[in-house]
Structure 1
Protein backbone atom coordinates (compact mmCIF):
# COMPACT_ATOMS: atom_id res chain seq x y z
CA UNK A 1 0.00 0.00 0.00
CA UNK A 2 1.28 3.46 -0.87
CA UNK A 3 1.93 6.08 1.80
CA UNK A 4 0.76 8.87 -0.54
CA UNK A 5 -2.08 10.88 1.08
CA UNK A 6 -1.78 8.95 4.34
CA UNK A 7 -1.39 10.77 7.62
CA UNK A 8 1.94 10.60 9.42
CA UNK A 9 1.68 8.07 12.23
CA UNK A 10 2.17 9.33 15.80
CA UNK A 11 5.76 9.48 17.05
CA UNK A 12 7.90 11.13 19.70
CA UNK A 13 11.68 11.43 19.51
CA UNK A 14 14.66 13.41 20.72
CA UNK A 15 16.54 15.48 18.17
CA UNK A 16 19.64 17.62 17.95
CA UNK A 17 18.83 21.14 16.75
CA UNK A 18 20.93 24.30 16.91
CA UNK A 19 23.16 23.07 19.70
CA UNK A 20 20.36 21.67 21.88
CA UNK A 21 18.48 18.45 22.44
CA UNK A 22 14.78 18.96 21.69
CA UNK A 23 11.70 16.78 21.66
CA UNK A 24 9.83 16.40 18.38
CA UNK A 25 6.56 14.65 17.58
CA UNK A 26 3.99 14.30 14.83
CA UNK A 27 2.17 17.29 16.39
CA UNK A 28 5.08 19.53 15.30
CA UNK A 29 4.21 18.85 11.66
CA UNK A 30 0.68 20.23 11.77
CA UNK A 31 0.08 23.57 10.12
CA UNK A 32 3.25 23.70 8.02
CA UNK A 33 5.01 21.89 5.22
CA UNK A 34 7.71 19.43 6.27
CA UNK A 35 10.29 17.17 4.71
CA UNK A 36 11.38 13.95 6.39
CA UNK A 37 14.78 13.02 5.00
CA UNK A 38 15.84 9.53 6.11
CA UNK A 39 19.45 8.43 5.71
CA UNK A 40 21.30 5.26 6.79
CA UNK A 41 23.80 6.49 9.39
CA UNK A 42 25.99 9.23 10.80
CA UNK A 43 29.74 9.12 10.14
CA UNK A 44 29.30 7.61 6.67
CA UNK A 45 30.09 8.64 3.11
CA UNK A 46 27.10 9.66 0.96
CA UNK A 47 25.02 10.86 3.93
CA UNK A 48 27.13 13.94 4.75
CA UNK A 49 27.09 15.01 1.09
CA UNK A 50 23.29 14.85 1.06
CA UNK A 51 22.88 16.58 4.43
CA UNK A 52 25.39 19.25 3.40
CA UNK A 53 23.46 19.85 0.17
CA UNK A 54 20.26 20.27 2.21
CA UNK A 55 22.10 22.64 4.57
CA UNK A 56 23.27 24.73 1.62
CA UNK A 57 19.65 25.01 0.41
CA UNK A 58 17.93 25.25 3.81
CA UNK A 59 17.20 28.98 3.46
CA UNK A 60 15.24 28.25 0.27
CA UNK A 61 13.14 25.63 2.07
CA UNK A 62 12.55 28.10 4.91
CA UNK A 63 11.34 30.76 2.43
CA UNK A 64 8.70 28.23 1.36
CA UNK A 65 7.68 27.65 4.99
CA UNK A 66 9.17 24.15 5.01
CA UNK A 67 10.94 22.53 7.98
CA UNK A 68 13.48 19.78 7.32
CA UNK A 69 13.76 16.75 9.61
CA UNK A 70 16.81 14.59 8.89
CA UNK A 71 16.26 11.14 10.43
CA UNK A 72 18.56 8.19 11.04
CA UNK A 73 18.49 5.34 13.51
CA UNK A 74 21.39 6.92 15.37
CA UNK A 75 20.80 8.66 18.70
CA UNK A 76 20.60 12.40 19.21
CA UNK A 77 23.96 12.10 21.03
CA UNK A 78 25.55 10.65 17.90
CA UNK A 79 24.04 13.47 15.82
CA UNK A 80 25.68 16.01 18.14
CA UNK A 81 29.06 14.25 17.98
CA UNK A 82 28.89 14.12 14.17
CA UNK A 83 27.80 17.77 14.02
CA UNK A 84 30.74 18.77 16.23
CA UNK A 85 33.33 16.79 14.26
CA UNK A 86 32.37 17.30 10.59
CA UNK A 87 32.75 20.62 8.78
CA UNK A 88 29.98 19.58 6.36
CA UNK A 89 27.52 18.50 9.04
CA UNK A 90 28.38 21.56 11.16
CA UNK A 91 26.53 23.68 8.55
CA UNK A 92 23.21 22.01 9.42
CA UNK A 93 20.60 24.28 11.01
CA UNK A 94 17.62 21.97 10.53
CA UNK A 95 16.42 19.28 12.94
CA UNK A 96 18.39 16.01 13.19
CA UNK A 97 16.06 13.37 14.65
CA UNK A 98 17.35 10.31 16.48
CA UNK A 99 15.40 7.11 15.86
CA UNK A 100 17.20 4.47 17.97
CA UNK A 101 13.90 2.67 18.67
CA UNK A 102 13.42 2.34 14.87
CA UNK A 103 9.76 3.37 15.25
CA UNK A 104 9.82 6.39 12.95
CA UNK A 105 11.67 4.43 10.25
CA UNK A 106 9.05 1.66 10.57
CA UNK A 107 6.21 4.21 10.43
CA UNK A 108 7.54 5.54 7.11
CA UNK A 109 8.30 2.01 5.86
CA UNK A 110 12.00 2.70 5.24
CA UNK A 111 13.53 0.45 7.90
CA UNK A 112 15.99 -2.19 6.75
CA UNK A 113 15.11 -4.61 9.56
CA UNK A 114 18.17 -6.86 9.35
CA UNK A 115 20.55 -3.88 9.43
CA UNK A 116 18.66 -1.58 11.81
CA UNK A 117 19.20 1.26 9.34
CA UNK A 118 16.90 3.47 7.28
CA UNK A 119 16.73 3.53 3.49
CA UNK A 120 17.34 6.84 1.70
CA UNK A 121 13.71 7.91 1.89
CA UNK A 122 12.36 11.40 1.28
CA UNK A 123 8.83 12.44 2.24
CA UNK A 124 7.09 15.77 1.65
CA UNK A 125 4.32 16.30 4.18
CA UNK A 126 1.56 18.90 3.83
CA UNK A 127 0.22 21.12 6.65
CA UNK A 128 -2.50 18.54 7.38
CA UNK A 129 0.16 15.94 8.20
CA UNK A 130 -0.44 13.99 4.98
CA UNK A 131 2.36 12.61 2.82
CA UNK A 132 2.36 14.14 -0.68
CA UNK A 133 5.71 12.94 -2.07
CA UNK A 134 7.55 9.68 -1.48
CA UNK A 135 11.00 9.04 -2.93
CA UNK A 136 13.24 6.06 -2.19
CA UNK A 137 16.82 5.72 -3.39
CA UNK A 138 19.16 2.76 -3.21
CA UNK A 139 21.81 3.16 -0.54
CA UNK A 140 24.52 4.01 -3.04
CA UNK A 141 22.58 6.82 -4.81
CA UNK A 142 22.60 10.29 -3.27
CA UNK A 143 19.77 12.82 -3.57
CA UNK A 144 19.66 16.40 -4.87
CA UNK A 145 18.20 19.22 -2.74
CA UNK A 146 17.31 21.26 -5.85
CA UNK A 147 15.12 18.45 -7.18
CA UNK A 148 13.49 18.18 -3.76
CA UNK A 149 12.83 21.94 -3.79
CA UNK A 150 11.15 21.57 -7.19
CA UNK A 151 8.90 18.80 -5.84
CA UNK A 152 7.99 20.84 -2.75
CA UNK A 153 7.07 23.83 -4.94
CA UNK A 154 4.94 21.59 -7.16
CA UNK A 155 3.18 20.06 -4.13
CA UNK A 156 2.52 23.50 -2.69
CA UNK A 157 1.27 24.78 -6.06
CA UNK A 158 -1.27 22.02 -6.61
CA UNK A 159 -2.42 22.29 -2.98
CA UNK A 160 -3.11 26.00 -3.54
CA UNK A 161 -4.64 25.52 -7.02
CA UNK A 162 -7.16 22.66 -6.95
CA UNK A 163 -7.90 21.34 -10.42
CA UNK A 164 -4.45 22.11 -11.80
CA UNK A 165 -1.57 19.65 -12.17
CA UNK A 166 2.16 20.12 -12.70
CA UNK A 167 3.58 18.36 -15.77
CA UNK A 168 6.99 16.70 -16.02
CA UNK A 169 9.95 19.00 -15.30
CA UNK A 170 7.55 21.74 -14.10
CA UNK A 171 9.31 24.66 -12.48
CA UNK A 172 7.83 27.54 -10.53
CA UNK A 173 6.24 30.09 -12.86
CA UNK A 174 5.80 27.67 -15.76
CA UNK A 175 2.47 26.61 -17.21
CA UNK A 176 0.42 23.95 -15.49
CA UNK A 177 -2.35 21.78 -16.90
CA UNK A 178 -6.04 21.66 -16.10
CA UNK A 179 -7.15 18.08 -16.79
CA UNK A 180 -10.24 17.93 -18.98
CA UNK A 181 -11.76 15.96 -21.81
CA UNK A 182 -10.36 18.60 -24.20
CA UNK A 183 -6.77 17.58 -23.33
CA UNK A 184 -7.21 13.85 -23.93
CA UNK A 185 -4.91 12.81 -26.77
CA UNK A 186 -3.66 16.38 -27.36
CA UNK A 187 -0.55 16.34 -25.17
Structure 2
Protein backbone atom coordinates (compact mmCIF):
# COMPACT_ATOMS: atom_id res chain seq x y z
CA UNK A 1 0.00 0.00 0.00
CA UNK A 2 1.29 3.46 -0.84
CA UNK A 3 1.94 5.93 1.96
CA UNK A 4 1.02 8.89 -0.27
CA UNK A 5 -1.83 10.93 1.26
CA UNK A 6 -1.85 8.83 4.44
CA UNK A 7 -1.64 10.33 7.91
CA UNK A 8 1.61 10.15 9.83
CA UNK A 9 1.22 7.41 12.44
CA UNK A 10 1.62 8.22 16.15
CA UNK A 11 5.12 8.20 17.64
CA UNK A 12 7.09 9.71 20.50
CA UNK A 13 10.89 9.92 20.54
CA UNK A 14 13.84 11.78 22.03
CA UNK A 15 15.92 13.93 19.72
CA UNK A 16 19.05 16.05 19.81
CA UNK A 17 18.75 19.67 18.73
CA UNK A 18 21.00 22.66 19.37
CA UNK A 19 22.78 21.17 22.38
CA UNK A 20 19.64 19.81 24.06
CA UNK A 21 17.59 16.64 24.22
CA UNK A 22 13.99 17.30 23.20
CA UNK A 23 10.86 15.22 22.80
CA UNK A 24 9.39 14.88 19.31
CA UNK A 25 5.98 13.41 18.47
CA UNK A 26 3.83 13.03 15.39
CA UNK A 27 1.99 16.19 16.54
CA UNK A 28 5.16 18.19 15.77
CA UNK A 29 4.68 17.30 12.09
CA UNK A 30 1.31 19.05 11.89
CA UNK A 31 0.60 22.72 11.26
CA UNK A 32 3.60 23.24 8.95
CA UNK A 33 5.43 21.45 6.16
CA UNK A 34 7.96 18.90 7.39
CA UNK A 35 10.62 16.62 5.99
CA UNK A 36 11.32 13.31 7.73
CA UNK A 37 14.71 12.20 6.46
CA UNK A 38 15.72 8.63 7.38
CA UNK A 39 19.31 7.44 7.10
CA UNK A 40 20.93 4.13 8.10
CA UNK A 41 23.33 5.07 10.90
CA UNK A 42 25.46 7.65 12.63
CA UNK A 43 29.26 7.53 12.14
CA UNK A 44 28.98 6.24 8.57
CA UNK A 45 29.97 7.53 5.14
CA UNK A 46 27.17 8.66 2.81
CA UNK A 47 24.95 9.77 5.71
CA UNK A 48 27.06 12.74 6.87
CA UNK A 49 27.28 14.07 3.30
CA UNK A 50 23.48 14.04 3.03
CA UNK A 51 22.89 15.57 6.45
CA UNK A 52 25.47 18.28 5.80
CA UNK A 53 23.80 19.05 2.45
CA UNK A 54 20.47 19.47 4.28
CA UNK A 55 22.13 21.81 6.78
CA UNK A 56 23.80 23.82 4.02
CA UNK A 57 20.31 24.38 2.59
CA UNK A 58 18.44 24.61 5.91
CA UNK A 59 17.82 28.34 5.48
CA UNK A 60 16.07 27.66 2.16
CA UNK A 61 13.86 25.04 3.81
CA UNK A 62 13.01 27.46 6.62
CA UNK A 63 12.07 30.21 4.13
CA UNK A 64 9.52 27.74 2.72
CA UNK A 65 8.17 27.11 6.22
CA UNK A 66 9.61 23.59 6.29
CA UNK A 67 11.13 21.90 9.33
CA UNK A 68 13.58 19.00 8.95
CA UNK A 69 13.71 15.91 11.15
CA UNK A 70 16.55 13.50 10.42
CA UNK A 71 15.93 10.02 11.82
CA UNK A 72 18.09 6.95 12.37
CA UNK A 73 17.72 3.96 14.67
CA UNK A 74 20.59 5.30 16.77
CA UNK A 75 19.87 6.91 20.15
CA UNK A 76 19.78 10.63 20.84
CA UNK A 77 23.02 10.09 22.80
CA UNK A 78 24.74 8.77 19.65
CA UNK A 79 23.42 11.80 17.73
CA UNK A 80 25.01 14.12 20.30
CA UNK A 81 28.32 12.24 20.19
CA UNK A 82 28.34 12.37 16.38
CA UNK A 83 27.44 16.08 16.46
CA UNK A 84 30.33 16.70 18.87
CA UNK A 85 32.94 14.83 16.82
CA UNK A 86 32.13 15.22 13.12
CA UNK A 87 32.82 18.54 11.36
CA UNK A 88 29.94 17.91 8.92
CA UNK A 89 27.41 16.88 11.58
CA UNK A 90 28.60 19.56 13.99
CA UNK A 91 26.99 22.19 11.71
CA UNK A 92 23.48 20.73 12.04
CA UNK A 93 20.79 22.97 13.53
CA UNK A 94 17.72 20.88 12.68
CA UNK A 95 16.27 18.08 14.84
CA UNK A 96 18.09 14.71 14.91
CA UNK A 97 15.58 12.09 16.08
CA UNK A 98 16.62 8.84 17.72
CA UNK A 99 14.54 5.76 16.88
CA UNK A 100 16.07 2.93 18.95
CA UNK A 101 12.62 1.33 19.40
CA UNK A 102 12.30 1.19 15.57
CA UNK A 103 8.73 2.55 15.85
CA UNK A 104 9.18 5.52 13.51
CA UNK A 105 11.10 3.48 10.93
CA UNK A 106 8.33 0.87 10.95
CA UNK A 107 5.62 3.56 10.76
CA UNK A 108 7.20 4.96 7.59
CA UNK A 109 7.93 1.45 6.25
CA UNK A 110 11.67 1.99 5.85
CA UNK A 111 12.96 -0.44 8.49
CA UNK A 112 15.40 -3.11 7.33
CA UNK A 113 14.25 -5.64 9.95
CA UNK A 114 17.24 -7.99 9.81
CA UNK A 115 19.69 -5.09 10.24
CA UNK A 116 17.72 -2.90 12.64
CA UNK A 117 18.52 0.07 10.38
CA UNK A 118 16.45 2.40 8.22
CA UNK A 119 16.64 2.67 4.46
CA UNK A 120 17.39 6.10 2.97
CA UNK A 121 13.82 7.38 3.00
CA UNK A 122 12.63 10.94 2.45
CA UNK A 123 9.07 11.98 3.30
CA UNK A 124 7.47 15.39 2.79
CA UNK A 125 4.55 15.94 5.16
CA UNK A 126 1.93 18.65 4.58
CA UNK A 127 0.49 20.81 7.39
CA UNK A 128 -2.43 18.38 7.82
CA UNK A 129 0.03 15.59 8.65
CA UNK A 130 -0.40 13.78 5.32
CA UNK A 131 2.52 12.34 3.37
CA UNK A 132 2.89 14.08 -0.02
CA UNK A 133 6.31 12.86 -1.21
CA UNK A 134 8.02 9.50 -0.69
CA UNK A 135 11.52 8.72 -1.94
CA UNK A 136 13.50 5.64 -0.95
CA UNK A 137 16.98 4.93 -2.27
CA UNK A 138 19.50 2.12 -1.84
CA UNK A 139 22.12 2.53 0.84
CA UNK A 140 24.90 3.64 -1.49
CA UNK A 141 22.87 6.38 -3.21
CA UNK A 142 23.03 9.80 -1.55
CA UNK A 143 20.21 12.32 -1.91
CA UNK A 144 20.31 15.96 -3.04
CA UNK A 145 18.79 18.77 -0.94
CA UNK A 146 18.22 20.94 -4.03
CA UNK A 147 16.03 18.29 -5.65
CA UNK A 148 14.14 17.92 -2.38
CA UNK A 149 13.58 21.69 -2.29
CA UNK A 150 12.19 21.55 -5.84
CA UNK A 151 9.76 18.78 -4.86
CA UNK A 152 8.62 20.72 -1.78
CA UNK A 153 7.97 23.84 -3.86
CA UNK A 154 5.92 21.74 -6.29
CA UNK A 155 3.96 20.12 -3.44
CA UNK A 156 3.28 23.51 -1.87
CA UNK A 157 2.22 24.97 -5.23
CA UNK A 158 -0.20 22.12 -5.94
CA UNK A 159 -1.64 22.41 -2.40
CA UNK A 160 -2.21 26.15 -2.87
CA UNK A 161 -3.57 25.86 -6.44
CA UNK A 162 -6.23 23.13 -6.66
CA UNK A 163 -6.76 22.00 -10.24
CA UNK A 164 -3.15 22.65 -11.29
CA UNK A 165 -0.26 20.21 -11.49
CA UNK A 166 3.49 20.62 -11.94
CA UNK A 167 5.10 18.90 -14.95
CA UNK A 168 8.51 17.22 -14.98
CA UNK A 169 11.45 19.45 -14.06
CA UNK A 170 9.04 22.21 -12.97
CA UNK A 171 10.76 25.08 -11.21
CA UNK A 172 9.13 27.81 -9.16
CA UNK A 173 7.61 30.46 -11.44
CA UNK A 174 7.34 28.19 -14.46
CA UNK A 175 4.14 27.24 -16.22
CA UNK A 176 1.94 24.55 -14.67
CA UNK A 177 -0.80 22.44 -16.21
CA UNK A 178 -4.54 22.37 -15.60
CA UNK A 179 -5.63 18.82 -16.48
CA UNK A 180 -8.70 18.77 -18.73
CA UNK A 181 -10.17 17.04 -21.76
CA UNK A 182 -8.59 19.77 -23.91
CA UNK A 183 -5.08 18.59 -22.97
CA UNK A 184 -5.54 14.91 -23.76
CA UNK A 185 -3.18 13.91 -26.55
CA UNK A 186 -1.71 17.43 -26.87
CA UNK A 187 1.23 17.07 -24.54
TM beyond 0.5: yes
Match of 2:169 in 1: 169
**Inter-partner Cα distance in structure 2 for 1:30 and 1:123:** 14
**Inter-partner Cα distance in structure 2 for 1:28 and 1:43:** 27
1:55-94 paired onto structure 2 within 5 Å: 55-94=55-94
Which sections of structure 1, spanning at least 5 residues, go unmatched?
none
SS of 1:104's equivalent?
helix
What is the TM-score when the length of structure 2 is the normalising length? Answer: 1.00
Provide the aligned C-alpha RMSD in A. 0.3
**Inter-partner Cα distance in structure 2 for 1:134 and 1:98:** 20
| Count of residue pairs brought into register by the alignment | 187
What is the TM-score when the length of structure 1 is the normalising length? Answer: 1.00
Which sections of structure 2, spanning at least 5 residues, go unmatched?
none
1:33-44 paired onto structure 2 within 5 Å: 33-44=33-44
Residues 11-59 of structure 1: per-residue CA shift (max 9 Å, x gap): 0000000110000000111110000000000000000000000000000
**Inter-partner Cα distance in structure 2 for 1:77 and 1:99:** 11
SS of 2:170's equivalent?
coil
SS of 1:6's equivalent?
coil
**Inter-partner Cα distance in structure 2 for 1:60 and 1:158:** 19
Match of 1:146 in 2: 146
Displacement of 1:117 in angstroms is: 0.1
Q: Give runs of ≥4 in structure 1 deviating > 4 Å.
A: none
Match of 1:126 in 2: 126
